[in-house]
Amino acid sequence: MKAVIQRVSKASVTIEDKKVANIDIGLLVLLGIVAEDTEEDIKWLVNKIANCRIFNDDNQVMNLSLIDSKGDIIVVSQFTLHASTKKGNRPSYIKAARPDVAIPLYEAFVKSIQLVLGKPVQTGQFGADMKVELVNDGPVTIIMDSKNKA
């Protein structure tokens, strides 16, 4: 499971001219899932994201987590995170999990991070053509991969 985490001062997701998610201070998480991902990957990644100290404290030092800062979060499915660009000019998405595997894992991820944060999590819509807008604060962008946790 791979995630691109962006600290934002605001972010939103729009589908067919309808805004389906909208936050101010918090995180925008783009989440890519492969068929080999498990509940263990979800647990590890949720813990890392919720506790990653990338928000400024009173001294303007990145010392606070999403939990500490009480920020909000939007989670967006993003199968293209697992693109292979080794051959040719057209990326291959063969590593990305098919919807029958990815959707339950995506939904479990959202439920799990919601439980850890103790508040609702906003999302995009799996498989939809989404317009994602954000103001990356910092900019702070971190890539996490549950397969590289050792």
Residues annotated as catalytic (active site), given as ranges: 78-80
CA distance 91 to 52: 31
Q: How many CB atoms lie within 10 A of CB 61?
A: 10
For the chain, give me the number of helices (H) and strands (E)?
3, 8
Q: Is the dihedral of CA 99, 104, 105, 106 positive or negative?
A: positive
CA distance 115 to 14: 25
CA distance 44 to 55: 20
For 79, the token pair is 């199968």
